[in-house]
């Protein structure tokens, strides 16, 4: 069984509605927490850029001062010294401002990202369980890491670039008009050409990069599949054919990467050529104007410096727009998750206590994961406190679904589930769920010590309690022989211990909890006979004095159950004890005879 159902669909995020205005507004909501930092950042960007843009003007003035030498006039070195000092001063202040600005923006973007990440994580703990049925873990993790990172980069770099580019464009433009409107006209001949080439090439590059990423994705997917299936590949002696397939994928990826790289490399020289062509045009025309005394040589030099500054943002513009678009798309993917429905709130006056006796009643319960297809139909039964209920039936019969409803992972469509004669939605969810212990087939072990793993979710337990639970779970002996006993670190998902041992640890965890109800999903076939006997014994210990629901695969569990629910196609087709069902000679009898007799 699987928390929240076993069948998983896919959601690749393509359903994300594209409403950029709303996205920007929502991003602004996050940014507005750090308004002060943002305003300081913007002011510093404006000032530092404005100051650095005075540089070319001062350079022009210096050259003009010096050019009088040709006319036989003495150079005013005092003036040149003042201009030079001003220039150094402005550049220095601008650099310092840039430094503080970068720090302010990085801090701001990290604060926004921190908050976004917390909201997203919080969402994962409150969202309806059904969300995890339709979304792959990898996709959710990629939203939490890759998407959030791309917002962070955009906030710290793109935001600054937009402001810087705008200021550079405006100031350079104004300064070029002041210095020489005529040269500006000549210079503007090359601007559309440069803009056009950059836009065209960046479109081609984007397409090539997309193809390259798809190919790399395919290559990674193939590698992942191969690594996880290594044992099967070796057992079927498929190494050679796998190698050939990998070679094909690798060649394809390398080819597409080359093509993407080729176009990216071509852009730089092409755009440079156009820009240099513009510079040559302005330089030639400017030189003629200088000769005819229409402008001074220093002004020409200042103009050329401004024109260089002006072309920078023009060339960057399309990249910048693409970066911002992709950051907004990332934000949309995140907001889409944040907008998912949460679990329903507890009703007013819901009981703030757990279950007392453990009497469980299903009354005409119907449920479907989709409203148009009922998976459980009109299910009714009663389990008395302390009884063991074995749920049996073919695959897809609805066994896991029944347990999912009992745990309140989903809400019933029709009918009522009662515990202690109280409809289950009249309990606060947290107290209700605390009354259950679950031992599933896909046991959940986290990175931490054996002790921490057993204690998980159980407050106020002592080391002795843990040892006693481990003894009852028949895992104490094994733990004692680990290098650091109970303090041995288990790796992620417990890959350094066996499946059976993992299950015993989880049983020990459940032993510690004083829950009245227990849900067990018996392992089918992944353990050896010795471990199986151990697990069975441990489970029997665990079931004592609890109302237990077991998705049963073992003969002994089924035979000893107080109540067997035989499920088929969403219905309970037969229910009763082993003896009573056998004497009916119905479906249970047939199933039993075909599987166990
Ligand atoms: N999250 C889900 N979304 C949609 N349909 C689902 C979901 N989980 C299960 N189903 C469908 O509901 C039906 C009952 O599934 P369920 O997992 O309860 O069966 P099961 O008896 O536990 O099967 P198995 O023994 O194979 O685990 C199946 O048809 C299944 O495809």
* Residue in 1, 2, 3, 6 to alter for ligand 1 test, most ligand atoms within 8 A of Cβ: 6
Residue of 469, 536, 531 lying closest to 498 (CA atoms): 531
The pLDDT, as a whole number, for residue 372 is: 85
Question: How does 406-431 read in b/e, with b if 16+ C-beta sit within 10 Å?
Answer: bbbbbebeebebebbeeebbebbbee
Domain coordinates of the chain in residue numbers?
A: 1-179+298-343, 181-294
The pLDDT, as a whole number, for residue 423 is: 94
* Residue in 369, 550, 571, 595 to alter for ligand 1 test, most ligand atoms within 8 A of Cβ: 369
What ligand 1 atom has the least distance to the C-alpha of 1? 27
CA angle 129, 454, 449 (to 5 degrees): 105
Q: How confident is the model at residue 597 (pLDDT cuts 50, 70, 90)?
A: low
- Dihedral sign (CA 126, 130, 131, 132): positive
* Residue in 398, 411, 413 to alter for ligand 1 test, most ligand atoms within 8 A of Cβ: 398
CATH architecture of 1-179+298-343: Up-down Bundle (1.20)
Residue of 421, 404, 432 lying closest to 347 (CA atoms): 432
Structure tokens at 387: 């009884």
Q: Which residues, judged by CB distance below 6 Å to any ligand atom, belong to the binding site of ligand 1? A: 5-7, 133, 369, 375, 393, 395-401
The pLDDT, as a whole number, for residue 12 is: 39
Q: How confident is the model at residue 14 (pLDDT cuts 50, 70, 90)?
A: very low
Which is more confident, 530 or 485?
A: 485
Residue of 386, 543, 394, 574 lying closest to 473 (CA atoms): 543
Query: By percentage, how much of the chain surpasses pLDDT 70?
Result: 93
CA angle 580, 584, 586 (to 5 degrees): 125
Determine the distance separating the centroid of ligand 1 and the alpha carbon of 377, expressed in angstroms: 13
Determine the distance separating the centroid of ligand 1 and the alpha carbon of 553, expressed in angstroms: 17
The pLDDT, as a whole number, for residue 525 is: 52
Nearest CA to ligand 1 atom 12: 375
Is pLDDT at 198 greater than 60 in this prediction? Answer: yes
Structure tokens at 573: 């087709």
Determine the distance separating the centroid of ligand 1 and the alpha carbon of 485, expressed in angstroms: 39
Q: How confident is the model at residue 427 (pLDDT cuts 50, 70, 90)?
A: very high
Nearest CA to ligand 1 atom 10: 7
Phi, psi of 89 (to 5 degrees): -60, -50
Determine the distance separating the centroid of ligand 1 and the alpha carbon of 208, expressed in angstroms: 42
Determine the distance separating the centroid of ligand 1 and the alpha carbon of 65, expressed in angstroms: 86
| CA atoms of 97 and 104, how far apart (whole Å) | 10
| CA atoms of 149 and 109, how far apart (whole Å) | 10
Nearest CA to ligand 1 atom 3: 369
Q: How confident is the model at residue 248 (pLDDT cuts 50, 70, 90)?
A: very high
Tokens 């302010």 -> residue: 104
**pLDDT tens digits for 35-94?**
888 888 888 888 888 888 888 888 888 888 887 766 677 777 888 888 889 889 988 998
Using alpha carbons only, how large is the chain's radius of gyration in Å? Answer: 36
Q: How far is CA 414 from CA 51, 409, 586, in A?
A: 71, 15, 28
Q: How confident is the model at residue 391 (pLDDT cuts 50, 70, 90)?
A: very high
| CA atoms of 302 and 496, how far apart (whole Å) | 69
Highest mean pLDDT range out of 122-136, 157-171, 375-389, 478-492?
375-389
**Which SS3 state, helix, strand or coil, does residue 457 take?**
coil
Residue of 344, 360, 355 lying closest to 406 (CA atoms): 360
Phi, psi of 421 (to 5 degrees): 65, 10
Nearest CA to ligand 1 atom 19: 396
Residue of 257, 84, 48, 247 lying closest to 163 (CA atoms): 48
């Amino acid at each position: 069984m699987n928390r929240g159902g076993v069948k998983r669909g896919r959601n690749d995020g393509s359903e994300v509605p594209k409403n950029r205005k709303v996205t920007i507004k929502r991003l602004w909501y996050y940014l507005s927490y750090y308004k002060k930092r943002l305003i300081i950042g913007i002011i510093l960007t404006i000032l530092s850029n404005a100051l650095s843009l005075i540089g070319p003007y001062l350079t022009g003035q210096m050259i003009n001062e010096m050019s009088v030498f040709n006319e036989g006039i003495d150079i005013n070195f005092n003036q040149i010294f003042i201009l030079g000092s001003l220039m150094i001063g402005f550049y220095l202040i601008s650099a310092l401002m840039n430094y503080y600005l970068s720090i302010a923006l990085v801090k701001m973007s990290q604060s926004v990202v921190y908050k976004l990440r917390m909201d997203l994580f919080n969402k994962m703990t409150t969202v309806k369980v059904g969300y995890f049925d339709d979304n792959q873990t990898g996709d959710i993790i990629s939203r939490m890491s890759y998407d959030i990172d791309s917002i962070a980069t955009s906030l710290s770099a793109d935001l600054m670039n937009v402001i810087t580019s705008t200021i550079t464009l405006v100031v350079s433009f104004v300064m070029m008009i002041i210095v020489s409107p005529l040269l500006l006209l000549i210079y503007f001949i090359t601007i559309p050409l440069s803009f056009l080439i950059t836009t065209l090439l960046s479109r081609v590059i984007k397409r090539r990069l997309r193809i390259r990423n798809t190919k790399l994705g395919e290559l990674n997917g193939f590698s992942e599949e191969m690594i996880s299936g290594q044992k099967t590949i070796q057992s079927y002696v498929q190494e050679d054919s796998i190698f050939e397939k990998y070679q094909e994928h690798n060649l394809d990826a390398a080819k597409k990467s080359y093509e993407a790289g080729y176009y990216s490399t071509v852009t730089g020289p092409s755009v440079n050529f156009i820009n240099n062509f513009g510079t040559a045009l302005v330089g030639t025309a400017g030189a003629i104007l200088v000769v005819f005394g229409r402008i001074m040589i220093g002004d020409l030099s200042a103009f050329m410096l401004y024109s260089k500054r002006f072309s920078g943002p023009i060339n960057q513009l399309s990249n910048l727009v693409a970066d911002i678009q992709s950051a907004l798309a990332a934000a949309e993917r995140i907001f889409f998750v944040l907008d998912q429905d949460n679990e329903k709130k507890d009703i007013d006056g819901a009981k703030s206590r757990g279950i007392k006796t453990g009497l469980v009643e299903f009354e005409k319960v119907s449920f479907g994961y989709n409203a148009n297809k009922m998976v459980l139909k009109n299910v009714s039964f009663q389990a008395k406190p302390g009884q063991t209920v074995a749920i049996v039936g073919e695959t897809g019969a609805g066994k896991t679904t029944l347990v999912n409803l009992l745990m309140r992972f989903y809400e019933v469509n029709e009918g009522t589930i009662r515990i202690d004669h109280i409809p289950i939605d009249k309990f606060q969810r947290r107290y209700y769920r605390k009354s259950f212990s679950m031992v599933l087939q896909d046991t959940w072990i986290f990175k931490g010590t054996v002790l921490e793993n057993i204690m998980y979710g159980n407050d106020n337990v002592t080391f002795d309690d843990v040892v006693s639970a481990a003894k009852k779970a028949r895992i104490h002996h094994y733990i004692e022989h680990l290098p650091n006993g109970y303090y041995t670190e288990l790796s992620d998902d417990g890959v350094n211990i066996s499946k059976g041992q993992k299950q015993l640890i989880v049983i020990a965890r459940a032993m510690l909890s004083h829950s009245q109800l227990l849900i067990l999903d018996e392992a089918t076939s992944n353990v050896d006979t010795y471990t199986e006997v151990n697990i069975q014994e441990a489970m029997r210990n665990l079931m004592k004095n609890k109302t237990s629901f077991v998705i049963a695969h073992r003969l002994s569990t089924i035979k000893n159950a107080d109540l067997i629910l035989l499920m088929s196609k969403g219905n309970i087709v037969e229910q009763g004890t082993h003896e009573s069902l056998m004497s009916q000679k119905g479906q249970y009898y047939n199933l039993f005879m075909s599987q166990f007799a």
